[in-house]
Each structure stands twice: as C-alpha cells, then as structure tokens.
Amino acid sequence: MKNYINFSFPKVFCLLFLLLLSMTLSVSAGEVSLDIFHMTWLEGAQEVLDDAIASFEDNNPEVNIEQTIVSHGEAHSQFMISLTTGTAPDMAIMTGSWAAEFARMGAFVELDEYLSDDIYEMFDFERYSDITMINDKIFGVPSEGPVWGFFYRKDLFEEAGLDPDSPPENWDEMLEYAKVLTKDTNNDGEIDQWGIGMAAGEWEPGDYWYQLMWQMGIPLVEEQDGEWIATIDTPEGLEATQFYEDLVKEYHVMPREITGLDWEGIMLRFAEGDMAMMYNGSWAMGSLLDGYPELEGKWATAKNPAGPTGDRAALTNPKTWVVTEQSDYPELAYEFIEYFNSEHPDYPGQTYADRYAIEVGNMNFRKGFTELDYAQESLIKPFAESLDFGFTFPISPYFEEVRRGSINPGIQRMIMCEITAEEAVQIFQEEFERLH
C-alpha cells in the first residue's frame, strides 16, 4: 500500500494538471456556452441582436452564445417549464411583469454587485422598480418595449369633414368622431367603415380594457400593506367597462368581430380603410410603413384620449434583462447584458439596445432615449410623450392567471352579449380576490 501511494500521487497530480489544461484549452476554444431566452420576432431587431452577440463573441473568444426564441403567447409557460425542469437559460429578456413574477420565486441573480456606474447612470431603477427590484435589490435591467397608443386615418377624417390635424382629446370627442366615421359606404345596409377598433382576439382583450380603467383614474390593482387589492368592481371600473361595452352594443361604432382580431387583424382593417381609428401598439407603425407605402401621409398617431376624469394613460411594457440562478456563468451573462447597452459602432449616440428598439418600433426605457432624433419623428413622438403617463402590467402574483383565465375571455363574452359590463367587473373582482 505504501509503495502504491508513493507511486500514485505524482501520477494523480499529473492527470489533474492535464485535465485542468484540457479544460482551459476548451474554454479558450469557445466552449463556455451561454443561452439567451427571448421573443424577438422582427428581422431587423434579430439582426441587431445577432450583431451584438457576434461582436461580444469576438471580444470573448471563449464564449459561445446560443439563442432560444419563443413566441409571446408561449414565452411565459415555456420559461416556467425551464425553471421547474432545471433547464433555465443563463439570461433572458422578457416582459417586465413576468420578470417581477419570476423574481419573487427566487429565479434570478441579484445584480447589484455586477452593475457598473455607467449602467446606474443609464437607467432609473427606482422609476421602474416594479420590474427591476425586490427588497431594494436589483434583479433586472430595463430594456425596450412597446407603448400602446392611438392611430387615425387623416384621409377618412377629411372625407367626414373632421380636422385631420386634430385627433380626439377625450372619450367624448372620440365617440363623437367615431359616430361620424362609422358608415355604410355601399348603401347596402351593412356597415363597412367602422369608427374605431381595438384588438380583442387571443391574448389581447385586456390590454385595451386596462387603459380605459386607468383613464378613469383607478389603478386596477394595487398593493396596500403587503396585500393586493383590486379596484375593478367600483363605480369607476364599471364606467370604464360600460364605455367599452357601449362602443359595440349601444353606439355601434366598433364591430363585434374584434373578438376574432388580434393587433395585426385590427391593423389590416385600419390599412384597408375599414376602421378609421384604432388603438394599437407602437410596433404597428413599422408594419404600416413597410406594408402600405401607398398610405404615406394618410394616417397619423396621437396620444390616447383622456377619460372623464381628465386622466391620460397608456399601457407600456418595458422588457427586463435578467440572469437566472441556474446559470453557471452569471457574471459573464451579465457582461453581455451590459455590452448590449453599449454604443453601437455604426450608430454614434445609440446603443445596441436602442437600435433593437428602433427596429421593432418601440421605446428603449433608458434615460435620454426620448431625446434621440428617432423619438422626435412625427409618428413616434406621441408614443415617446406617452411614457410620462405610462402604466405597466400589474405585477401582483396571480394577475397573469386572472388575465388569461378570466379577463380576456370575460371581455370577449361581454362583447358577444353573453354577459353585461356589471357582470364582467364582478367576475373579474371575484376571481382576483379568490386567487390572491
């Protein structure tokens, strides 16, 4: 035994040295693998992300970055599955309210020790604390995201005798304009030009109802002394919901078939002249500009009309960059996030993240983005200005479940005359309270 030990130690150390050398060579050969989970769906934005990855890999030859791309509709469940099965990516860019939800589950690395002074100066973490911080600890970095706003056809305004440079400022004006713009242009007894439209298909119905609620001056849900309180079944909540219902049932300025239309379906009806006004996301601008060049100058954007209380409100959905607790290389993963927020070599004064947002037609939620020339363009400016009264999705623990299981189908049922506005707000309130 003694001879065996004397003989084996040098051999073992030699093997360990060779193993470590092999690992070092492997690392330098690009075998540190990082995975990004994201929902990029436009070619231009994907190119920006690809360029950032390629440049980061050039500067860090030991790193190989893989991408997992999922649809928005599947992203929440797919990420949840990855967490529970131990296959979570190293980093992700996801809807901010989802990031807050998963952060409360302990899914992400606290980033305070990694953040540089430049990043601290670039972002207002306090302003977006709902989607970046828990217990005063930073778990995420804000990124790009859409802003919902108002679109209108200037040419159809002119045909109807309305001022094409004066979009509606409030609900009363919006309704007045919608009545004038709703027409039977073929004189066949069928409306073929609707005054207004907002998507109510698939996962979108709540996105527009929330904004009407906020425009009534109520928060929808809020945290009070550690408890989440819904303000849905209230006089203000009922008035907002009743207004939505009346656009279809009482005033007949919005069609019931919106329950089968997503944002793109609404945009197509708008582009074809079948809807004179629409609520939609900022990303729709790029689709209109690219897909319908013949409409140039015939449509415009505006800030959302104010509610009866005078409140303006717009849904904003800043995404959040996060590093997961399951990552083997959290510091390196964060380094890529910071690199993505560094200046793009081909666009002085703009970061990779800025370019990504611009390619999507969204805002980047960093300080100074709204001062870029892009944000001052006539179509973009109303969305940039809407950040001042922007609301994010509620981050209460079960809101996503309420949204999917109750609010979205409930709004569709209301539009189809299966339930009333009174019944809808009661159902939403009760479901929220039951889960929370």
Across the range 392-409, mean pLDDT stands at 89
What's the mean per-residue pLDDT of the chain? 90
pTM of the predicted model as reported, rounded to 2 decimal places: 0.84
For the cut 80, the answer to whether the pLDDT of residue 145 exceeds it is: yes
Q: What's the CA gap between 165 and 322, in Å, rounded?
A: 42
Across the range 144-155, mean pLDDT stands at 96
Q: What's the CA gap between 386 and 20, in Å, rounded?
A: 55
Specify whether domain 34-142+319-364 bears CATH 3.40.190.10: yes
Q: Please provide the DSSP assignment of 87-104 as one string.
A: ---SEEEEEHHHHHHHHH
User: What stretches of 12-59 adopt beta strand conformation (E)?
Assistant: 32-38
User: What stretches of 202-271 adopt beta strand conformation (E)?
Assistant: 221-224, 227-230
Domain 148-316+392-435 CATH class label = alpha beta
Q: What's the CA gap between 405 and 159, in Å, rounded?
A: 42
Residue-wise pLDDT tens digits, 170-216: 999 999 999 999 998 888 888 999 999 999 998 899 999 999 999 99
Going from N- to C-terminal start, the domains of the chain cover 34-142+319-364, 148-316+392-435
Sheet holding 148-153, edge to edge: 194-197, 275-281, 148-153, 299-302
| Helix, coil or strand: residue 222 | strand
At 43, the pLDDT band (50, 70, 90 cuts) reads confident
| Helix, coil or strand: residue 402 | helix
Would the CATH topology of 34-142+319-364 be identical to that of 148-316+392-435?
Answer: yes
User: What stretches of 39-147 adopt beta strand conformation (E)?
Assistant: 63-69, 91-95, 133-134, 137-138, 140-142, 144-145
Element (H, E) at 197: strand 194-197
Q: CB-hemisphere CA count at 13 Å for 171?
A: 23
**Residue of 423, 394, 148, 155 whose CA lies nearest to 282:** 148
Token duo for residue 290: 């690219």
At 21, the pLDDT band (50, 70, 90 cuts) reads very low
Cα pseudo-dihedral 137, 45, 35, 331, rounded to 10: -40
Task: Map tokens 């197509």 to a residue.
Answer: 268
